[in-house]
Chain A
Amino acid sequence: MKCQYESQRVAYPYFIAAMALFAAQVLFGLVVGIQYIWPDFLFPAIPFNIGRMIHINLLVVWLIFGFMGSAYYLLPEEVEGEIFSVKLALLHFWLFLIGGATAIVGYLFRWHDGREFLEQPTIIKVAIVVVVLMFIFNMFMTIMKGRRKTGISVVLFIGFLGLAVFYLFAFFKPDNMTLDKYFWWWVVHLWVEGVWELIMAALLSFLLVKITGIDREVAEKWLYAIVGLTFLTGIIGTGHHYYWIGTPAFWQTWGAWFSAIEVLPFAAMVAFSFSMVSKRARNHPNRAAVLWTVGAAVLSFLGAGVLGFMHTLPQINFYTHGTQMTASHGHLAFYGAYAVIVLAMASYAVPNIRGVMPTHQKAEIFAFWTMSISMVLIALSLTGAGIVQVYLQRILAIPYMETQSYITIFYAMRLFFGATFTIGLVVYLYDFFLPGKARAESPS
């Protein structure tokens, strides 16, 4: 297998950067995970807040690298034409990498803003906007110059446009904390339960069309239905964050009803991938890519759909709000939906870019199961921690710090599964950076 279009290769550095940053993200996850048990670890050089900020910012940056690389890989095949400007793609690759690295290193020196996930100093935020605009321009021109416009390419484009537009709310920092929180969620919630879901669904559709050989007409109908369900439920579903922050009580009704059905787009992605794979026209040789693709649908359903639903009703959220339950859901949702879909694209695209047959299939399949099972167990450990925390702190009214001393065992379990996760990751990276030498026999 080879790339059909020369410019698809520009995706390669994006995937490399994504993998390197992924490794760093997990490293900092281990640091903060250790601090939960031994608070003096690396203290005060890297206090918990700095480590956590690096952990999550790296996550978001590597996912966006992965999304962009995926887009550059699939666009030429979708629109049947080369990328508008490879130079521009490389230029904003470096800009993003330098900007991202500056931010992360800056955090270590306490150069940061102070809103969760949006800690980037203003100038870095501006740089991010510039990078994304360059990318969107390149994408737009590629689609316009291509021979055809497909549903997949248009949905992907809308996803990125939304990513850029909602990020603009990161610049809004009013003095009123309630107002601040209200629009903070327009970045965070409307990303992960809105426009990012479009990006995920578009990548999923692309992969399913490629690996099953099924006609795109079928896939695109599913894709539109998923987009519709996402917006129908996710926009008003933002209300599940407006129960207790000083916003009106009507959100408890609206947020509950709409967010409760936010599970639908994720359920649809599961049904979509199973139906496509069971009706497949051929068996794709890259079995690992098939596994990652179906895995993204299933794991996002578990992390976002099931764990999300568990705490989304106000009657339950009243007790679980801001506890380890939230962290449990946050981990499996981010991993299952966004990390895994990027890994699926990398698994599919990178061997094609290199012009080799996919190698180390066994190693990669081992990595999939090790990372995914570990992440499910991390989430379950944190659910255990959350249940005990809710009982002690929210029901028995025991002080926060005291409750923490009772749940160390769950933090130890989380760290243990963090270590097994890291084993899976190391195997994955070995396969990624040191592939075997099998050459492609037949282009397809």
Chain B
Amino acid sequence: MTKTSVRNMVIGATVIVSVVFLYMTYLSYASLSERTNSEKISEEVAWGKRVWEKHACIDCHTLLGEGAYYAPELGNVIKRRGEAYVKIVLETAAVQGWGTTRKMPQFDLTEKDINGLMEFFKWMGEIDTNNWPPNIEG
């Protein structure tokens, strides 16, 4: 094979896989509202996501298995712990942090922030994740 024919095969293959990939991206996008209940993304959920980002929670925790591995999975935290418990964690974190060994820092969380995070976690918990995680412990 000459260099040119190798090069042409490379270009051809790249174009084909890119088209397939873009089509699958379109299909994924089209399934979004059904699989993630996007119509339920309220002001509070959106605010909660922004609070989640403001404090870089992802750099200790995982969310649907992505992030850091220093602290528990939070995608299903409401189902695991119940609303009341999660709320206490956030309210305590806003005052003095949380945890005994590995500690969550104190974050300046307003009532609006805590409410947003709660709604955000509730919405996350309803996403169709193809039955991941294997059990409630995440």
Contacts and interface: CB of A to CB of B under 8 A. Distances in A.
Interface of A: 35-36, 39-40, 43-44, 47-50, 52-53, 112-116, 119, 151, 173, 175-182, 217, 220-221, 224-225, 227-228, 231-232, 235-236, 238-239, 241-252, 254, 258, 318-319, 321-324, 326-327, 393-395, 397-401, 404-405
A238 B17 CA distance: 11
12 contacts: A36-B70, A44-B97, A49-B56, A49-B59, A52-B59, A244-B129, A244-B133, A245-B127, A246-B64, A322-B69, A397-B136, A401-B72
Nearest to A314: B130
Nearest to B70: A48
Contacts of A220: 3
B78 interface: no
Given A243-B132, A321-B65, A401-B72, A217 B3 contact: yes
Q: Which of A177, A221, A235 has the most CB of B within 10 A?
A: A177
Interface in B1-49: 1, 3, 6-7, 9-10, 13-14, 17-18, 20-21, 24-25, 27-29, 31-32, 35-36, 38, 41, 45-46, 49
Given A39-B102, A44-B97, A247-B28, A252 B130 contact: yes
A321 B69 CA distance: 10
A392 to B, nearest CB: 9
A228 B32 contact: no
A248 B55 contact: no
* Nearest 8 A/B pairs, CB to CB: A114-B53, A322-B65, A49-B59, A244-B132, A228-B10, A400-B72, A321-B65, A397-B135
B52 A114 contact: yes
A118 to B, nearest CB: 10
Given A47-B105, A114-B56, A224-B3, A244 B65 contact: yes
Interface string B89-115: 000000001000111011000000000
Nearest to A246: B127
Contacts of B73: 322, 400
Contacts of A116: 58-59, 66-68
Contacts of A241: 66
A44 B96 CA distance: 11
Nearest to A403: B137
Contacts of A252: 130
Contacts of B82: none
Given A181-B64, A231-B14, A244-B129, A175 B49 contact: yes
A112 B56 contact: yes
B99 to A, nearest CB: 8
B32 A178 contact: yes
B103 A245 contact: no
Given A151-B3, A238-B21, A400-B73, 5 more contacts: A115-B53, A177-B127, A227-B10, A246-B128, A322-B69
Contacts of A151: 3, 7
A228 B13 contact: yes
B13 A251 contact: no
Given A178-B127, A179-B32, A323-B69, A44 B106 contact: yes
A317 to B, nearest CB: 9
Contacts of A243: 130, 132
A48 B68 CA distance: 10
Q: Which of B17, B62, B66, B71 has the most CB of A within 10 A?
A: B66
